[in-house]
Amino acid sequence: MENLRQDEAKAYNKSKRILTIISLLINFIFLIFLLFSKATHLFRDIGDSISTSPGLIILIYLLIVGGLSEVISLPLEFYGGYTLEHKFKLSNQRVKDWALDHIKELLVSLVLTFLVIELVYFLLRRYPSSWWIIAGVIFVLFLIALVNLAPILLMPIFFKFTPLKDSELKERLLLLSKRANTQVKGIFECNLSKKSKKSNAALAGLGNTRRIILADNLLKSFKEDEVEVILAHELGHHIYNHLWKGIGLEVILIFSGFYLANLCLGNFSNYFGFGGIADIAGLPLLILAISGLSLFLLPLFNLYSRRLETQADDYALNITKNSQAFITTMKRLAEQNLAEVEPNKIIEFIFYSHPSIGKRIKRAERFTSNYNKIL
């Protein structure tokens, strides 16, 4: 039965990877098409014909390009987010529920994208030589604010959160947080089961918004020892300042991406016939530069992320001294979330932000062996 489930896991994850690669290719082809077909000029001109306001021109351009992008990507998004999840019996959503979530995502994305692009092009117009530095600083501050506010502003748009009712488990988890010298502002249950059969948990937010979030699927399917180990792992991220280290990596990516975009806009604006670097018609070039760099650096970022995850695992093992619960947790997560226990090494290097389940289990087994030797 376990091997059968792993066969399903391999098929599921292979399908997800193929969809991701196809989606990336389609997006890149779309952006290249906009540039070389001069369609990006046409959409800019439509905005120019309607308004002389730079902000409104940008909005019209984004609505046209975003609408076309949505039409192109919707079939893949539906297949990946709904059809595939149902095929492998991982989803509890009806079509209308998926559609409602997708509309919410579109609206949130539209608002955030509009604000971001408006800011970038305001800086391009006002500070053409130093825009990328100013934009980098603002984006870093925005990223920190987003991490802080996500649990109370963004996540509730898609999930319902209620205080954890199990008083015994709540006390146990609060005690663990106290042992880790981590202040939390509450423990909440998330209604993930409304959408999915998967399990998850998180320590989200910063300062006054930091809270423990447990999926209801997790509470139903996992024992208290296992839930404690999962939280201990999340606390390990906090203890070792992994959030800030992750933000540090994002800072590097943000500034590098904007700098590369600055070079591309400066060197190729005339070639593509843009009216300067602040011409909204150059947006596809800007996005290609930033997303291309992100894709190139993805394996290195994932390598670093896996190291942080391993450190958090070690912390969980050390603070709970319960490697058996850790091992059963990993096996249960693999089965419930259809995670590959032993993925291809090249696939793991490129795509995995966490060590494979198999490696995490082996590390816990070595911890057990070493711990027993000490005793």
pLDDT tens-place values along the chain, 375 residues long? 456 588 899 999 999 999 999 999 999 999 999 999 999 999 999 999 999 999 999 999 999 999 999 999 999 999 999 999 999 999 999 999 999 999 999 999 999 999 999 999 999 999 999 999 999 999 999 989 988 888 888 899 999 999 998 889 999 998 988 888 888 888 899 999 999 999 988 888 887 888 889 999 999 999 999 999 999 999 999 899 998 999 999 999 999 999 999 999 999 999 999 999 999 999 999 999 999 999 999 999 999 999 999 999 999 999 999 999 999 999 999 999 999 999 999 999 999 999 999 999 999 999 876 654 544
DSSP 8-state code for residue 195: T
Using N-to-C axis directions, what is the helix angle for 283-320 and 54-78, rounded to 10°?
60
**What is d(CA 99, CA 107) in angstroms, rounded to the nearest whole number?**
12
Q: Look up residue 52 and give its two tokens.
A: 């002389």
Res 374: pLDDT: 47
Q: Look up residue 46 and give its two tokens.
A: 């439509």
Ordered strands of the 201-204 beta sheet: 161-163, 187-190, 211-215, 201-204
**What is d(CA 65, CA 56) in angstroms, rounded to the nearest whole number?**
14
Strands 211-215 vs 187-190: parallel, antiparallel or unpaired: parallel
Q: How many residues does the structure list for the chain?
A: 375
